[in-house]
């Protein structure tokens, strides 16, 4: 019969029309991220870094394709999964109780925490900033008093000395004479004057002026000493207990920003840690508080010789992969994460990016 003869062909034809799930086009996931070294880098238009490598391994396990969406700020990154712009968020996102309310997170994928970055020490007092802080409004009255005093002492001495042939001035005329006597008053102030007036009134004025000079030098020395101490105290940040009273930079909306405001520490916030570091290197803030692995990576790479990490990791945190609430991807991503830990891939990535110690050391 014709139908029987053609039946196998017909069956094959029908089967070919049904898409077999094993051969289906892999699904594509929209993955939001942001540049935060060494977790996410952009190198020659390509993304790389610990978190990117880890995600590539996970997506291979899940047999999905990835479309990365790079966000500029932490807020934009977090919101991408909230606004259905992305299915997944991965970078250096800390799992917090507050975020757990609005998002779901994978198992922890990296142990991090907060630490402090300060400018490299050992340059001694900065003369420029010392001069700046001495010649400010506080010392202006003292400086004016001394200038007026020197002019006044100069004038009195000139007045009584100019007529004397045995006087210590070379010229009786006003300008050369005043110049000489004021020069004399100024050198009396700083060191020791050459010459000594001969007239009685000028001598009395001289003694009085020398007394003022001693006082001035004492006050000035005390001011320089206390200013140097203040500068030294400002640079003496050894751990989080030294932060109150200092100006601290960090990244807007980060867990560090939360920590600093909860501890009432004077904070300047930036959109990225790079901007905070630029400000630190210019000397604006006294320190940066941010994610320990990020600060350590910078200090041991581009920042060598310029900045240093101080104190312990004082608040432990874990990074996670972020999902919208009730995402169907969370469970499979967790399974893939566990598989990568069990088969050694995770450790290989740690060694590649952190020299083996997660969160400590460099590539």
Q: What is the DSSP string of 317-352?
A: EEE--EEETT-THHHHHHHHHHHHHHTTHHHHHHHH
CB of 16 to ligand GLU, least distance (A): 48
Four-residue CA torsion sign, 90, 96, 100, 103: negative
Beta bridge partners of 28: 65
Q: What are phi and psi of 83, to 5 degrees?
A: -100, 15
CB of 122 to ligand GLU, least distance (A): 30
Instruction: Please tell me whether the peptide bond between 77 and the residue prior to it is cis, using omega within 30 degrees of 0.
Output: no
Q: Which stretch binds ligand GLU (CB under 6 A): 87-95, 166-174, 230-238, 259-267?
A: 87-95
Interface characters, 27-46, with ligand GLU (x: CB under 6 A)? -------x-x----------
State which H helix or E strand residue 301 sits in: none
Q: Which stretch binds ligand GLU (CB under 6 A): 12-20, 91-99, 199-207, 208-216?
A: 91-99
Interface pick for ligand GLU out of 31, 54, 86, 92 (rule CB under 6 A): 92
Q: Which stretch binds ligand GLU (CB under 6 A): 86-94, 185-193, 295-303, 334-342?
A: 86-94
CB of 133 to ligand GLU, least distance (A): 33
Site for ligand GLU in 50-79 (CB under 6 A): 74
Decide if 219 contacts 198 (C-beta within 8 A): no
Query: Beta strands 287-291 and 110-119: pairing type?
Result: antiparallel
Select 202 or 260, whichever has its Cβ closest to ligand GLU: 260
Select 37 or 330, whichever has its Cβ closest to ligand GLU: 37
What angle (nearest 5°) sits at the alpha carbon of residue 42, between those of residues 39 and 48? Answer: 50
Site for ligand GLU in 156-175 (CB under 6 A): none
CB of 65 to ligand GLU, least distance (A): 24
CB of 137 to ligand GLU, least distance (A): 39
CB of 37 to ligand GLU, least distance (A): 11
Pairwise CA distance, residues 317 & 173, whole Å:
79
Q: Does 251 bind ligand GLU (CB under 6 A)?
A: yes
Select 108 or 125, whichever has its Cβ closest to ligand GLU: 108
Site for ligand GLU in 273-302 (CB under 6 A): 291
Q: Rounded to whole angstroms, what are the CA distances from 92 to 38, 148, 318?
A: 9, 62, 9
DSSP helix, strand, coil percent of the chain (3-state; round to 5): 50, 20, 30
Select 91 or 310, whichever has its Cβ closest to ligand GLU: 91
Q: What is the CA radius of gyration of the chain?
A: 36
Q: Does 93 bind ligand GLU (CB under 6 A)?
A: yes
Q: Does 182 bind ligand GLU (CB under 6 A)?
A: no
Select 93 or 213, whichever has its Cβ closest to ligand GLU: 93
Beta bridge partners of 88: 31
How many helices and strands, by DSSP H and E, does the chain display?
Answer: 13, 12
End-to-end CA distance of the chain: 73
Select 182 or 322, whichever has its Cβ closest to ligand GLU: 322
**Interface residues toward ligand GLU, by CB under 6 A:** 34, 36, 74, 91-94, 251, 254-255, 291
């Amino acid at each position: 019969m014709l139908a029987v003869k053609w039946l196998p062909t017909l069956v094959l034809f029908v089967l070919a029309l049904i898409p077999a799930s094993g051969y289906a086009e892999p699904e594509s996931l929209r993955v939001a991220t942001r540049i935060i070294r060494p977790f996410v880098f952009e190198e020659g238009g390509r993304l790389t870094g610990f978190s990117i490598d880890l995600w590539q391994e996970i997506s291979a396990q899940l047999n999905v394709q990835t479309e990365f969406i790079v966000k500029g700020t932490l807020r934009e990154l977090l919101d991408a999964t909230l606004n259905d712009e992305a299915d997944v968020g991965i970078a250096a996102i800390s799992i917090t109780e507050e975020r757990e309310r609005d998002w779901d997170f994978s198992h922890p994928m990296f142990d991090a925490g907060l630490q402090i970055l300060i400018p490299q020490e050992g340059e001694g007092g900065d003369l420029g900033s010392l001069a700046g802080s001495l010649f400010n409004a506080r010392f202006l009255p003292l400086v004016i008093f001394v200038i007026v005093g020197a002019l006044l002492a100069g004038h009195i001495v000139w007045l009584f000395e100019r007529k004397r042939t045995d006087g210590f001035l070379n010229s009786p005329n006003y300008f050369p004479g005043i110049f000489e006597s004021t020069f004399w008053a100024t050198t009396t102030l700083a060191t020791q004057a050459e010459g000594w007036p001969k007239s009685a009134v000028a001598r009395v004025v001289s003694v009085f002026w020398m007394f003022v000079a001693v006082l001035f030098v004492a006050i000035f020395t005390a001011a320089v000493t206390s200013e140097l101490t203040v500068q030294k105290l400002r640079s003496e940040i050894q751990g989080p207990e030294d932060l109150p009273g200092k100006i601290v930079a960090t990244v807007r909306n980060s867990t560090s920003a939360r920590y600093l405001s909860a501890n009432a520490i004077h904070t300047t916030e930036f959109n990225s840690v790079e901007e905070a570091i630029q400000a630190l290197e210019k000397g604006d803030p006294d320190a940066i508080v941010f994610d320990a692995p990020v600060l350590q990576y910078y200090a041991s790479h581009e920042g060598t010789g310029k900045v240093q990490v101080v104190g312990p990791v004082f608040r432990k945190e874990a990074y996670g992969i972020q999902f919208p609430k009730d995402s169907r991807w969370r469970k499979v991503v967790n399974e893939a994460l566990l598989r990568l830990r069990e088969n050694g891939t995770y450790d290989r990535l740690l060694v590649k990016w952190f020299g083996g110690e997660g969160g400590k050391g460099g590539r």
